[in-house]
């Protein structure tokens, strides 16, 4: 968890492949701890074709059954089936907006939201941007994308900087003026 925090969490990301991976992992995280997901991250990469959306979108029932039997990942039937559906919707967003990054960053006016929290208790579980993203993703056919999941995704992908001001990463991941 420390390495993830110190190198990855909150870094503004505009890479569709990485954003897709984050979105997939966050949907599997629903109801679980992020630490569990991080421990299984390599297993998810292996099981889900290295997060190749064009492959995942075409998964057969046989592939879904294989995933349900894979002890290295979260074997939740709804989340696995939802991943295929989410991937198909992801590809539609790429087609419509030119990139998934362009779509996502439009929810924060193309600039990270930078909070200046001093205590963990000040960090929200959602905001109007995560509400809007959640609503729009659901409208586009995504599942497991409630506002809390969207907020966590936005934090992880650097659309929201919720590093505490006392954290060395707060300044490092903030855009330089």
Q: What is the pLDDT of residues 6-49, one digit of tens each?
A: 999 999 999 999 999 999 999 999 889 999 999 999 999 999 99
Whether residue 113 is predicted with pLDDT greater than 80 in this model: the reply is: yes
Helix (H, G, I), strand (E, B) or coil at 111: coil
**Distance set, CA 47 to CA 59, 63, 111, 137 (Å):** 11, 10, 33, 24
Total domains present in the chain: 1
Does residue 13 sit in helix, strand or coil?
coil
Burial class (CB in 10 A: 0-12, 13-18, 19+), 160: buried
Question: Is 167 within a domain?
Answer: yes
How far is the C-alpha of 50 from the C-alpha of 88, rounded, in Å? 16
Residue 56 lies in a domain: yes
Tokens 């059954």 found at:
65
Residues 155-169: pLDDT tens digits? 999 999 999 999 999
- Comparing C-alpha atoms, which of 59, 56, 17, 24 is closest to residue 41? 24
Q: Is it the case that residue 177 has pLDDT exceeding 60?
A: no
What pLDDT score does 175 carry?
Answer: 80
Q: Domain holding 151: CATH number?
A: 1.10.340.30
State the pLDDT at residue 130.
Answer: 98
pLDDT over 90, % of the chain:
96
Give residue 64's domain range: 2-172
């Amino acid at each position: 968890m420390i390495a993830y925090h110190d190198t990855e969490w909150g870094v503004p990301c505009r890479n569709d492949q990485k954003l897709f991976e984050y979105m997939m992992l966050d949907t599997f995280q629903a109801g679980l701890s992020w630490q569990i997901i991080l421990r299984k991250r390599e297993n998810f990469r292996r099981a889900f074709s290295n997060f190749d959306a064009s492959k995942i979108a075409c998964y057969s029932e046989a592939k879904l059954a294989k995933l349900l039997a894979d002890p290295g990942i979260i074997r939740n039937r709804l989340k696995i089936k939802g991943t295929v559906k989410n991937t198909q919707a992801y590809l539609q967003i790429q087609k419509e907006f030119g990139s998934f990054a362009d779509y996502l960053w439009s929810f924060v006016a193309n600039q990270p939201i930078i909070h200046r929290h001093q205590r963990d208790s000040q960090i929200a579980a959602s905001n109007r941007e995560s509400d809007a993203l959640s609503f729009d993703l659901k409208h586009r056919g995504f599942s497991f994308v409630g506002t809390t999941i969207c907020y966590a995704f936005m934090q992880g992908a650097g659309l929201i900087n919720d590093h505490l001001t006392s954290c060395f990463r707060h300044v490092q991941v903030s855009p330089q003026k």
